[in-house]
Structure 1
Amino acid sequence: MTNKPLSAQQLSDYHRDGYLIVKDFCSAAEVEKLYSTALNDDAMRKNALDLNDQSGKKTRLSLWFTPGNDVFGYLTRSQKMITPVNQLLDGDAPVCHFHSKLMQKEPRVGGAWEWHQDYGYWYKNQFMFPDQLMSVMVALTNANKENGCLQVIKGSHKLGRVNHGFAGEQVGADMVMVNNALQTMPLVYCELQPGDALLFHSNLLHRSEANLSDGPRWSVISCYSRQSNIAYNETSTSWKTPVEIVPDEAILEWDAGSLSNNDFLAKENDPALKETGWEK
């Protein structure tokens, strides 16, 4: 894919539905380099977090804040990533990178993600404006119903923030409102091929089933905000640092360092996973 802007129709679809799928967002060569790095860079494995779903199955992710001079940092900072994000986020302040995470659903054992909104987590970071927050998921392997692809409730971002409590070790949305939404709006399975991208609003209700297939489901999700969107309970600084954009060619052509120097999240430091009193 070139870094051409999203069309007027794509912008309209995103704001109506709360999400947008862009096919072939990354080339096969880019996906191969990203996936190979994910598998072979020790920093990803050493800094992986396990979060239990309600059944006790583990969901694994590695999360870091500052995009570096590694292949994932180049993707996060690439022109083709920042161009649509800048079009879709409300406001006109510079685009900042909140965090990225490598989602690792292993065959047969990769757990579910419960129904939630990303802003259900990020509300605890005390970000002020959910319309200035969004995520971009790039599939590194096939994502389908069998291996637990993302499910979304189409248009649910228009509900505003739904109350969230704990579901296992995860933060889950109030199921009364989720069930109301499921009776009102369509449920969509976002099946992706490697290299496809899913762009979605911070208030979109979404979940994924456990991976019961014989193959892995891996993806990278980069989360963005505007510099004008203050996070009053966030100790990292990437959320307020404008992205230093690099050309798309950097992903394949520039020297890529290790992720070992990245500022990975430790589970005990995540405010979204701590009780505040209003979850009950």
Structure 2
Amino acid sequence: MAYRLSASPPFKKLSHSDLNWNLQGNTLTSQATLASESDTMTGLTADQVVSFQDNGYLVIPDYLKPTEIESLLAETNTLLDNFSLESHPLTQFTTGDDDKSDHVGDDYFLDSGDKIRFFFEPDAISSEPDPLTGRPALLKPKNLAVNKIGHSLHTLSPPFKAVSLNERNAAVAKALGFKDPRVLQSMVILKQPSIGGAVPSHRDSEFLYTNPPSAVGWWYALQDARPGNATLGMWKGSHKGRKGGHITRRFVRKADGKGTEFVENTGPSLPRGMEEEKVEEPREDELEVLDIKAGSLVLIHGNVLHKSEKNTSPRSRYAYTFHVIEGADGWEYDKRNWLQPSEGGIFEVISIIEVHINTTWGDFPRGTSHIVYG
């Protein structure tokens, strides 16, 4: 089952008002008709686009202003302080990539696509029930026990919405070739000191599958992410078909609606323009461990292999992330994907910018989707 991402739910479009676009040097820029020159939002340079195409990811330092970082950290702390444990099911976030645990898949998780919910670190919860309450007990204060907060911060939290749905991100999406960029699955990943769980190697389009694949992650470092505190590890170029970049499995809801599972992908495994035969798998010695300063944005191709280790350091590693998928005709978001509208509700739709560009950039006509992945 699939549906076309037109103007219908579950997703909306990415930006704002009546925009004027122009090309300054090699940088695509957009400016609202009434905005001042200081408000002009830039997209990506030609070199940045090529780097993303070649490597499958791109680190952009200082993408967030210091005031934006402060605002997002303050909002995160407010959310952690104010959520109640009284009715919380103490849902733990587990990846299910080993033989010891299933991926999280209870209703609290599955119905979180249009809500703000809190998921705990497995190591922060007792293995045996508390004899007084009959429930598992937290082993740490709740603000040090949460693994992540999600999955609709971009619609329900004003500070996170402000850094998600804006002209600059729309310009970046257009530079990456999106025709109708849609935002979904926003979350703060906390990587708590000493217990922040590892995320095994994966490709984001396994979780947010479109036919054909189109996902790109926006990953913002709210604190320094370094080799010592479980930063991102990337296999450079592993989004390409010849480097094993095919989406061979998918993370879906079980057919009975109870829980989640990984299944074989029987649909297209590469974005359009990446029709390559597999030659080799990424090697462990090709892993690049990134050193990312707070305020940086990391763009992550949906087919690139990446992971993060357990945080055994005394320093947390807060990051904010959301994903963008293609909503134009010719792409379908599958109804088996774990992220779906809750019963009786829909995901907020992201507003879109209608872009008409008559100039050219290199060999690519700017009125069309020009990125050829791979």
- TM-score, scaled relative to structure 1: 0.72
Specify whether residues 84 and 197 from structure 1 end up closer, same or farther in structure 2 by C-alpha distance, changes over 3 A only: same
Task: Using the TM superposition, give the Cα deviation of residue 38 of structure 1 relative to its aligned residue in structure 2, in angstroms.
Answer: 0.5
| Equivalent residue, structure 2, for 1:182 | 283
| Matched ranges for 1:1-280 at <5 A | 3-42=41-80, 50-52=92-94, 54=98, 58=122, 60-65=147-152, 67-68=155-156, 70-90=158-178, 92=179, 94-123=180-209, 127-130=210-213, 132-158=214-240, 159-163=245-249, 180-182=281-283, 186-228=286-328, 229-233=331-335, 235-236=340-341, 237-238=346-347, 241-243=349-351
Q: Distance in 2 between matches of 1:49 and 1:60?
A: 10
Assess if the C-alpha contact under 8 Å between 1:97 and 1:238 holds in 2. no
> Residue 168 of structure 2 aligns to a residue in which SS?
helix
> Residue 75 of structure 2 aligns to a residue in which SS?
helix
> Residue 67 of structure 2 aligns to a residue in which SS?
helix
**What amino acid does structure 2 have at the position aligned with 1:231?**
Y
> Residue 147 of structure 2 aligns to a residue in which SS?
strand
Name which structure has the greater RCO, CA cutoff 8 Å, separation 6+: 1
Larger Rg: 2
**Count, aligned residues:** 231
Task: Using the TM superposition, give the Cα deviation of residue 244 of structure 1 relative to its aligned residue in structure 2, in angstroms.
Answer: 5.6
Assess if the C-alpha contact under 8 Å between 1:34 and 1:72 holds in 2. yes
Assess if the C-alpha contact under 8 Å between 2:165 and 2:350 holds in 1. no
Q: Which runs of 5+ in 2 are unaligned?
A: 1-38, 102-120, 123-145, 253-259, 265-277, 354-374
Assess if the C-alpha contact under 8 Å between 1:103 and 1:219 holds in 2. yes
**What amino acid does structure 2 have at the position aligned with 1:75?**
V
Q: Which runs of 5+ in 1 are unaligned?
A: 246-280
Specify whether residues 165 and 33 from structure 1 end up closer, same or farther in structure 2 by C-alpha distance, changes over 3 A only: closer
User: Which has the larger displacement, 67-76 or 156-165?
Assistant: 156-165
Q: Which has the higher helix share?
A: 1
| Equivalent residue, structure 1, for 2:7 | none
How many percent identity over aligned positions? 20
| Equivalent residue, structure 1, for 2:271 | none
RMSD over aligned Cα, in angstroms?
3.2
Specify whether residues 172 and 76 from structure 1 end up closer, same or farther in structure 2 by C-alpha distance, changes over 3 A only: farther
Superimposed CA distance per residue, residues 148-190 of structure 1 (whole angstroms, 9 cap, x where no aligned partner) = 0010100111122143689xx99699xxx9x93116x831112
